[in-house]
Structure 1
Amino acid sequence: MFEKLIVTRTLRVPASTGTAGDGSTVARQLDAALLSVGFSAESALLAHVGGLAIGPAMDLAATVVAGVRELVGDHVRHNAYFIGFPHDVPDTMEFWLDRLREAVLAGGDTAGVRLPDGGLNLLELPGYGTYQHTYAELLAAHDELVAKAGDRVTLLCLGDSAEAETERLYLALAGSVTPLGEADLAILGELAAACADGAQPDVIPVRENRAVLNGVRLSLGRPLLAVDTTTDVLRLACGVSGGDATLRTPTKFRSFRRPERRVLLAALDEVVGANAGKLGDVARYAEPWKRLGERLHPHEFPNWPHARAVFEVARRERRVLSIAGRAEVAFRDGATQKAATVLSASPGLLLRSADRLLRQAPAAERAAVVDAVTGALPTASGRVLLSLREHVGNRLTPASARMYASRSRNSWIGPDTRAPLPPELVGELSALLDEEIGGRLPPFEHPLLVDPAVLDVALPLSGTASEGGFAVLPRGSRASVEGELLRFFMYWRQTAKRTDYDLSVLLLDDEFRTTGQVSFTNYHHDGVVHSGDVTEAKEGATEFIDVPLSLRGRYVVPQVNIYAGESFDDVAESMFGYQIREKSQRGAPFDARTVRARSTMRGPGRVALPVVFAKGERGWQAVWLHLYLRGTPTFNQVETNQFTTLDRVRALMERHYLTMAYLIRLWRTRAEVTMWDGRLPDWPVTFVGLEAPGGLPDGSEVFTLDRLGELIPE
């Protein structure tokens, strides 16, 4: 049931339980099919397929090939508007005039082409924005791709049975110490239903995960798991109502069956009965609590007075100040030390407020505040400690701009008016955090073998700072880009109405000043070439941009603008990715073997900023952004949003992110760590890298991109 999901999520192929036989022919066909899209099967996987009867071998091979093709975006047809792209792309103005000339020569009515302000309505020009050739004709116009040694080959490994792999993935997602992205939360919901009667994680640290799991368990009549705050119940009620379990947006609660009301109210009563202080969280979400009370009818259950107290607080019939509320009163009174004392009851909240406390504390109170922060370290979560460590590392000097990225990947940016923290204080806090984090690193049975390529990956502290896809890294991560030509591709398929997405590139110099742009209004600039503007996508559409890496600029910023139609959340499908090629390879505009990364585009804005490419001392690097700009409802263009783009790119590029290199540095003081040089070890190891090499000794444990979050200490 979940075989394809497991392949795309983990690059492991669940072992088939099909009838044994001679499937060697299918194994050879599978190997060839995988190589054609940039994948390779380890010998154990090919042997497993070869040992199956023809029927089950074909079923397994079809699942694997379909999964990896979807992973890199090869499951759809990527046609280019100009059939000869990247060659034979005309000058933009000449092309527009050619379209206008054809309209005039055709003798049609050209009144609709001219706009009142004297401009042109491109959509009315004959042939503009729609493919003038088929996908087959595109392929026929291009030579075959010339294979190069640098082309990507991603290894697929043989896994355990589908049931074991499903349970492993379920436990990993449910027990994640960092919040999951929307795609993984949806996967968790599906897995939770299948695994409801099996093993459950010992701890579920992330509350959104609890809401998803308990939503499934509520519908199946199973006991709830890990409910220890009133807000856990509210998240659950939002989730099962089809709303937002993160509580960022309002939810319209559905009607609950009486057994469901009993479960929810019983959970509330138990939480408040065990600790009346949990009522302090209710006022923060008073409005949704009041609306939920109208659905749960707590007055019908007199045996649960603690549950009724929740709704009394929401209706302001009882006043209970939260820890944050009491701390805010102390802040307003100028009593910083008292605020720290109040916040000490919630270590996570105290550490999230540490910067404010340290900035506002008078010199006489600073030592007491530092003591409070130090006292909170042992009981705070590892994710909070790492977040504070990253924050402190960026506080020695004010940034050129202060940017905050929300969970929905929107961003706020403004001047950094905070006073710097004293260097000696930053050093003291950093040392304390390093000691606490290092002491929590999970021990391993075998020595650590680390692929240097993983060192620049930002610590995956939140799935909301990333997107689903292939080889997609968390925000702030860097990946080397080696080759002669960088090719962006953007694909979308509309759901119900005409939708026009535009792929564009903004080019910047060392000082983040614009040196040029390439888009549907400018097909050429300094060797950068656009494939042509497609303005609707009933059957799906793709736009490409080629960027030679001999480019003179410093930063290349691709962006996707919604010019008209459906949002990123509403289209049937949308993706962004990049390929790396040598100029001599030629081939069709899209070839899966050259795809280095492919990400989905799902977000609330009208402009997507997936990644920026930066040239530095180590050559070109891809630096992941995962940001969305609000933009305007229609007609978004690179020319009109370049200033907001520049601010965000600069703020992110100047920020110091905690990366895997930080954790590896801490591990070196506690374990044997070796950098991988491409040679296989002779003994079992704990391998940490972006992809697993084939042939590791039996007993080795592998942490690749899908498992790096498991290295975050609890």
Structure 2
Amino acid sequence: MVHALAPLVVRHTRRLPCPTGPAGDGAAAVRRFDAALMTAGFKLSAELIERLSGFAEPTVVETAVHTLATVREIVGDHVQHNVYFVDFPANVPDTLEFWMTCVAEALEDRDTRDATLDQLDAGVLDLLTLPSYGRYRHTYEEMLAAHDELIAAAGDRLTVLHLGADGDTEVTTLYLALAGSTTPLGEEHLRDLAALAEHGADGPQPAEMPVRENRAVVNHARLRVGAAPLLDTVTDVLRLACALADDGDVTLRQPTRFRALSRPHRRALLAGLDAVVAASPAKLSDVSAHEEAWKRLGERLHPHEYPHWPHAAEVFAVARGERRAPSFDSRVEELLGRGEVAAAADLLAAAAPGRLFRALDRLLRTAAEGKEREAVLAAVERAAPEVSGRVVLSVREHLQNRAGGSGGDRRVFVNREAKAWTAEDTRAPLEDAARERLIAVLDAETRRRLPSPGRLLIDPDVLDTALPLSGRAASAGFGVLPRGSVSPVEGELLRFFTYWRQARYTTDLDLSALVLDEDYGTVTWLSYTALTDVEGRHSGDITEAPDGASEFIDLRLGAVRGTFIVPQVYVFSGEGFDEVAEGFFGYMLREAEQKGRPFEPRTVRMKSDLRGPGKVALPLAFRRDDEGRWHAHWLHLYLRGAPSANRVEGHRVTISVVMRALLGRTHLTLRHLVGLMEESGAETTLWDGRTVPDGPVTYIGLERPDGLAPGSRVFTPENLRDLLPA
């Protein structure tokens, strides 16, 4: 089982669990392993090379086979990336010229000639009816033969794999980190947590599981292997019941259709409810928040059949209104309805500090000037030590974006599924003095909680990475940073790619790139309707993907006439991003003289899964600053779009509005945390990319350097959530 979980360790930590096997001389096999890794842009650390060389060759070979498969999938090299135009990016025709060629070929085909003539007579031509449009006209091997080998360049990516502990230790450590995460996890991380929780059901458990959705996933996994669930609220039981249902929503935001439950599962849920309520009857007040869900669940659990668990029956009595248990929220709303803002703030501070912080903006706007507003501020100061670090930082970020008045600005909203929309900001402004006082309180609280880092070694490129306040603010993948992050982009050629494989129905996804000026106005675009421009080339439209399909856009950064480049993926027809068997987006950077295939794994800088609602995906955007340098701005957004036939021409205005609203917002970044550490006396050194200090350090960067001293703590994008104060 540990062997099967090793790929999770590599993917999440960039560490290779130390294998077990007979000693021997595996040096030659290790050199071959390292060389094969480098073709995918990975490399073994010096320490890992030394350790693996001491194993017999069969052990090294087995390790290499599994690891190579894992890293190739990480960067998207596990599939064949073909292109419509075999020479891409060379010899891409003008769009109209290409379409006319497809029409001419259709007229030469006796099977399609008459239908094509009828369309031409009507004045409307469907490109999808042309036999040579949208389908590969050559094999993958023929495409490879048309391209020269990639010439190595100093700027090629090289991700180092480091030596890990034994498999059991690495798997357990990863499980504890994910289960005990202080931030909600993304979809991929939750799937991995489920697998790890099954393996670790009988082993160590995290001291706390503060994110309730994570706890629901762990409890579901524990039930699958016959272990008792870990429950401490009635809502934990409801979330577990949702996890047991097909397509159930453990976040409780969407109704769950509960299925018939097995007797062991019914007993586990009712026993858990009974124990929770028996230990703390006050927790019945949480039932009314989800009373309809409890009623539906009661129909499946049949609590009347288990009289020896009377406290469980009380939960359903409250849901049916047969027993009164006013919710905490209703008590707060009652006070606010009477205009008693100070009393509401005091109640929240005493009983639910986290809810106080989440309601802070509303309370400040509602409170009258003078004593009432002072009472709200004082309540926040009293409650701050009891609020989770993630909430403290989230409110800090919120407050820094509430400077000034509303002024008719647009607000951008992003839900948990990364679906985005904008609306006019109609909120009254917050008083500057109150806002600045609160920011000082929150910064002091964060500074107090940050552990002493000792000597800090910082990669300067990581400083503008947004704090990972939620795992849902980033897509799963490689080289991905949280929404709101900014990272430098260095290279001559920027190449986007998307890949998809349909599950059941013919599916057409379209890759496009929109170029905007400094005022977010349209300059040009590249898409299947605009294959060429001075900026670059499109690889051609593929309209079905039973065995997988890829599209590319090649951009010469020096030729871009605008300020922003916004790559997008559209659902033109068929399955959505949440329905395809597989779908991902990414970008590569290379120099012009490197040549190579359309897809070269060692030039991949980022690859992210396409899994979200809506018909338009906006993974990230690129912005040129006043000095001509390019930076990536991470978006991870999905727009609703039209039911079908989405294309860039129809979404230019919407994308412009979303871009203006989102890039006008300032995010809390690692620069903020590092600054607070320095104020607390931390000694900081900016890493030059070459030498590392002799002694142990706390390193924060995009990738772990080789050669750090034993005892060093390392924070990279894979575990930045662990840097947030508890």
8 Å Cα contact 1:323/1:343 also seen in 2: no
Matched, 1:672 2:669: no
Residue 633 of structure 1 is matched in structure 2 by 643
Structure 1 511/443 Cα, relative in aligned 2: closer, same or farther at 3 Å?
same
- Structure 2 counterpart of 1:340, one-letter code: A
Distance, in Å, in 2 between the alignment partners of 1:622 and 1:202 is 38
- Within-5 A mapping of 1:15-94: 15-94=18-97
Equivalent AA in structure 2 for residue 283 of structure 1: S
Distance 1:400 1:621 in 2: 25
1:370-429 deviations in whole A, cap 9, x for unaligned?
111222211111110000000000000337311111111112310011122122112101
2:695 matches 1:687: no
Measure how far apart 1:147 and its partner are.
1.1
CA distance in 2, matches of 1:111, 1:6: 59
Q: How does 1:591-670 map to 2 (within 5 A)?
A: 591-617=600-626, 619-670=629-680
Hey, what does 1:477 align to over in structure 2?
A: 485
Corresponding residue for residue 389 of structure 1:
396
Separation of aligned partners in 2, 1:336 and 1:632:
44
* Residues 1:246 and 1:117: Cα distance change in structure 2 (over 3 Å): farther
Residues 105, 132 of structure 2: 8 Å contact kept: no
| 2:651 partner letter | N
Distance of 2:533 and 2:217 partners within structure 1: 48
- Measured after TM superposition, the shift of residue 201 of structure 1 is 0.6
Q: State whether residues 563 and 636 of structure 1, in contact with CA within 8 Å, keep that contact through their aligned partners in structure 2.
A: yes
Given that residues 115 and 121 in structure 1 are in contact (C-alpha distance below 8 angstroms), is that contact kept between their aligned partners in structure 2? no
The aligned residue for residue 466 of structure 2 is 458
CA contact (8 A) 2:479 2:606 kept: yes
Q: Please show how residues 60-209 of structure 1 align to structure 2 within 5 Å.
A: 60-113=63-116, 114=119, 118-209=123-214
Post-superposition offset of 1:116? 9.5
CA distance in 1, matches of 2:503, 2:387: 45
Aligned partner of 2:419 in structure 1 is 410
Deviation at 1:632, TM superposition (A): 2.0
**In structure 2, C-alpha distance between the alignment counterparts of 1:341 and 1:257, rounded to whole Å:** 45
Equivalents in 1 of 2:131, 2:705: separation in Å?
52
Are the counterparts in 2 of residues 492 and 540 from structure 1 also a CA contact under 8 Å? yes
Partners of 2:424 and 2:456 lie apart in 1 by 42
| 2:364 aligned residue (358, 362, 377) | 358
Tell me how far 1:524 sits from its aligned partner.
Answer: 1.9
CA distance in 2: counterparts of 1:285 and 1:463, whole angstroms: 25
After superposing the two structures, state which structure 1 stretch, 267-276 or 464-473, moved more.
267-276
Shift of 1:329: 2.9
Alpha carbons 2:480, 2:608 under 8 Å: kept: yes
Matches within 5 A, 1:513-662: 513-550=521-558, 551-617=560-626, 619-662=629-672
Q: Which residue of 2 aligns with 1:6?
A: 9
Work out the CA distance in 1 between the residues paired with 2:302 and 2:420: 39
Q: Structure 2 length as normaliser, TM-score?
A: 0.95
C-alpha contact 2:696 2:709 (8 A) present in aligned 1: yes
Note if contact 2:112-2:130 (Cα within 8 Å) is conserved in structure 1: no
Which residue does 1:425 correspond to in 2?
434
Once the 2 structures are TM-superposed, how far is the Cα of residue 646 of structure 1 from its aligned partner? Answer: 1.8
Once residues 184 and 535 of structure 2 are traced to their aligned partners in structure 1, the CA distance between those partners, rounded to angstroms, is 42
Cα distance change of structure 1 residues 115 and 248 upon mapping to structure 2, 3 Å threshold: farther
Structure 1 residue 112 displacement after superposition: 4.0
Q: 2:586, 2:306 → 1: CA distance?
A: 55
* Residue 371 of structure 1: aligned partner: 378
Aligned with residue 447 of structure 1, among 433, 455, 459: 455
Aligned to 2:461, the other structure's residue is in SS state helix
Paired amino acid for 1:103 = A
Counterparts in 2 of 1:178 and 1:320: CA distance versus 1, 3 Å:
same
Partners of 1:554 and 1:318 in 2: how far apart? Answer: 62
Change in Cα spacing, 1:258 to 1:320, as seen in structure 2 (3 Å) is: same
AA matched with 1:130: R
User: What amino acid is aligned across from residue 671 of structure 2 in structure 1?
Assistant: A
Q: 2: CA distance between counterparts of 1:370 and 1:651?
A: 29
1:256-314 deviation digits (Å, cap 9, x = unpaired):
33333233223222323333332222222122111110111112223333322211221
SS in 1 for 2:649: coil
Q: Is the 8 A contact 1:273 1:306 kept in 2?
A: yes
The question of whether the paired residues in 1 share the 8 Å contact of 2:478 and 2:607 is answered with yes
Report the count of equivalent residues. 712
Counterparts of 1:515 and 1:620 in 2: how far apart (Å)?
17
Equivalent position SS for 1:67:
helix
Can you give the 5+ residue segments of structure 1 that lack an aligned partner in the other structure? none
How well do the aligned residues superpose, as a CA RMSD in angstroms?
A: 1.6
Distance in 2 separating the partners of 1:244 and 1:115: 50
User: In the superposition, relative to structure 1, how do residues 361 and 117 fare at CA in structure 2: closer, same or farther (>3 Å)?
Assistant: farther
TM-score by length of 1: 0.97
Q: CA deviation at 1:436?
A: 0.5
Inter-partner Cα distance in structure 2 for 1:329 and 1:515: 54
Structure 2 gap ranges (5+):
none
Quick one: which amino acid aligns to residue 308 of structure 2?
A: N
What is the letter of the counterpart of residue 663 of structure 2? M
Alignment of 1:302-381 (within 5 A): 302-344=307-349, 345-364=351-370, 365-381=372-388
Please state whether the residue corresponding to 1:282 is helix, strand or coil: helix
**Contact map agreement 1:112 1:121 (CA 8 A) in 2:** no
Q: Return the match for 2:711 from 690, 695, 699.
A: 699
What does the per-residue CA deviation read over 1:220-250, in whole Å, with 9 as the maximum and x for residues that have no partner? Answer: 332322x222111100111122312111222
Q: Percent of pairs identical after alignment?
A: 52
Q: 1:667 to 1:265 in 2, by over 3 A?
A: same
Separation in structure 2 between the aligned mates of residue 70 and residue 428 of structure 1, nearest angstrom: 48
What is the rounded CA distance, in whole Å, between the counterparts of 1:339 and 1:707 in structure 2?
A: 37
Give the counterpart letter for 1:85 in structure 2. F
Moved more, 95-104 or 665-674: 665-674
For the residues of structure 2 that align with 1:307 and 1:673, how far apart are their CA atoms? Answer: 55
Change (3 A) 1:524 1:220: same
